[in-house]
Chains A and B, each alone.
Chain A
């Protein structure tokens, strides 16, 4: 009787909480929303594309010889039905580009206002104009067949020179199918 009760109680207990590596295959995946691993995948694919098609062939130009090129963040439109912070995508790209040693990002010149108001206040007007701006859009498409739901998240980014020319563009589509959330995929 006691054993049966213990077994029953054990079976009904909710799973314990544990830490999971942010880049592991054991993260919760949902069809309804963009998960953190989706942002990481999109950012990874976008930085790889930018390096492959623009930086590695030597097309990136800096306004100050010997210095990394300067990039400003322009409008990143969220066209999904979800409330999300676009920095989930853009910050990863910025950090990775900074670590290439080829690109830096302005914290005082950005669409929608300065990112670091104290630098803008202490440093005065920006001394250097950006060489490039990064703009983009996140789009969502949903469909279903019976119980199976499918969500597609389309990440679009463009790097523009100050002449208004898109010198690099790419699109990454993440498609998820399922009927309920799961851990893993």
Chain B
């Protein structure tokens, strides 16, 4: 095998999936290029230039929605138009119905209207179609909107934050699952643990900690209780796997059923939503640089997991156990304790995922997390961690989770219908596993 090809194989192993992620992003950027409207005060600026040519004394009606950006647009446009010497006949910030009322009022005054300045969203309202027939006294006003620039929807700030936000729960799960898969195990219970943690935490808040009046400290306490329960369950399934030498597949399948049932019992099959507003802080709040708290948490989890795997003895032991359990045991690695750690950490992170989801949805229900274990396994495998243990890393898992998120988001943005989405996602997972095989064939292990 030539040196160059070896280098290529190494490069692909380390950066292959990151490359796929970049390609996917580029692809979805290319196919989602659309007119992006300016908004807020900026949009008002661009309109004033356009309208000041219309001549002084022209009457203008400003129409915008009730959102913050639109209100800002309407406010600054009014000020600027008046400075430029135009007459602002009215400002609407609301629904089509409000626009109808205002148009009717101006029509009834018989004053006539030269221009309607509407945000692009409002310009599609059908109330603004056929104006001369509906409101004859207005004349035939020209409808103008702020200029647009071409930019991919995929690459807008809000969308990228969406992608990150949407994958937080699966990503946190898959970080924990990476530990277990590295030891050559699997944990199928993570989806059910999401539901259990969400239900336990919200039920504690509702029944014991003051319901919608609960304080921040109570919320933290409830979240910790959910996490603690999940950690205990993880320890238990780890203990079963280690001491009875059961296949992890079977042990965690049983735990998956039991935990899901427990969540249904504790919630009586209903969703628990009597929690305070502030419980959405983690799931919906934003912090530094407008980064959602949940995304920050996810990054912290991955940073910690990465350090653990690459810089600590425990991390090396995880690889050793998965690579060759017998050899690890003979060289003094506490195999049992390492595995216990992997299952406990995995369950704890699943619980954390449940807390994040409960916060995002401001409620807890036993149906949360259904089949999330499969997404998480997919993220780990797509991220290059080998199901046969001992190979892989947690940053790859993050890339894997992002690939799944980008594909989901991209398909939603381009309007691929949901049956096709499933097929595509399945093919992606298959492709990732095949890629893993090809790497194996040409990687350093191939020569053994």
- A, B bound: no
